[in-house]
Amino acid sequence: MSAQSGLDFPLLLADFQGEFLASIPDADPAAAVPACGAWTVRELVEHLAFVHHWAAASARAEKAARLGDGPFDLADHYATCATELRETLAELDPAATARVLAYPEPMAEGPVSFWHRRQVHETLVHAHDLRAAIAGKAALGLLRAVPEVWADAVDEVVTVFYPRQVGTGRMAPLATPLALVATDLDPAPGWVLGGVGSDIGEVPLRVSGSAEGLALLLWGRVTLDEAGLTVEGNRADVDAVLQEPIVP
């Protein structure tokens, strides 16, 4: 699976932003966000609002203006930034030149379309985080999203974030490549994390299961057991891979 996955990113962005916004009133702003360190719900909402605002400016090839010091009304603040992002992306030609995530420099010129995909997955993961805060624990099935979307989130980690983490010097290349297989899609898509040019059939270390489980595992939101994933090969080697900063 790749970025050319046939997904309707503008529709998905609006959908996931709507899910996030609708969940804000159900969450205690001071509540902890599972699997996100010391983050509270307030910090999570303000983070995603700023990322939307920053991505909109980056899509315009501009520097983001400050949003102020707060405290903000969380729902209104998020809605304003979410709308800014959607309207900006709708106004710009997807092929126009933007500032995008890159390496070895952290930002470089690239197409506006980069932000369509990136912000869908940013919102997807953080909408999961918000629902996890409401539920009191991270788990699968907290957010309505089809396997194809979660699979594209896996692809983004493997093809965008891992190479960028290595290329910017934030981590060393993985010593042991890891095969990932999403078994809830037919045909089951597969990826090799840290094994450029490797034949997935020849990678002895493998994790398989739902695309959602794989995506949330790579983003550090759930454990192998919580995701119900199957490991082939040395479990300790998988754990070592997952300890690396493969996402920012």
Tens of pLDDT, residue by residue over 63-111, are 999 998 888 999 999 999 999 999 999 999 999 999 999 999 999 999 9
Tens of pLDDT, residue by residue over 191-211, are 999 987 788 999 999 999 999
Q: Which long-range contacts (CB under 8 A, 24 or more apart) does 232-236 make?
A: 232/204, 232/205, 232/206, 232/207, 232/208, 233/204, 233/205, 233/206, 234/205
pLDDT value at 216 more than 80: yes
Q: What is the pLDDT of residue 18?
A: 98
Tens of pLDDT, residue by residue over 5-19, are 689 999 999 999 999
Query: CB–CB of 40/31 below 8 Å?
Result: yes
What pairing do the DSSP bridges indicate for beta strands 97-101 and 190-193?
Answer: unpaired
Q: Which residues pair with 99 in a beta bridge?
A: 109
pLDDT value at 124 more than 60: yes
pLDDT value at 165 more than 70: yes
pLDDT value at 4 more than 60: no
DSSP the chain: --S-S---HHHHHHHHHHHHHHHGGGS-TTSB-TTSTT-BHHHHHHHHHHHHHHHHHHHTT-PPPP--S----HHHHHHHHHHHHHHHHHHS-TTSEEEEE-SSSSEEEEETHHHHHHHHHHHHHHHHHHHHHHHTS--TTSS---HHHHHHHHHHIIIIIHHHHHHTTSSPPPSS-EEEEETTSSSPPEEEET-TT--GGG-S-EEEE-HHHHHHHHTTSS-HHHHT-EEES-HHHHHHHHTS----
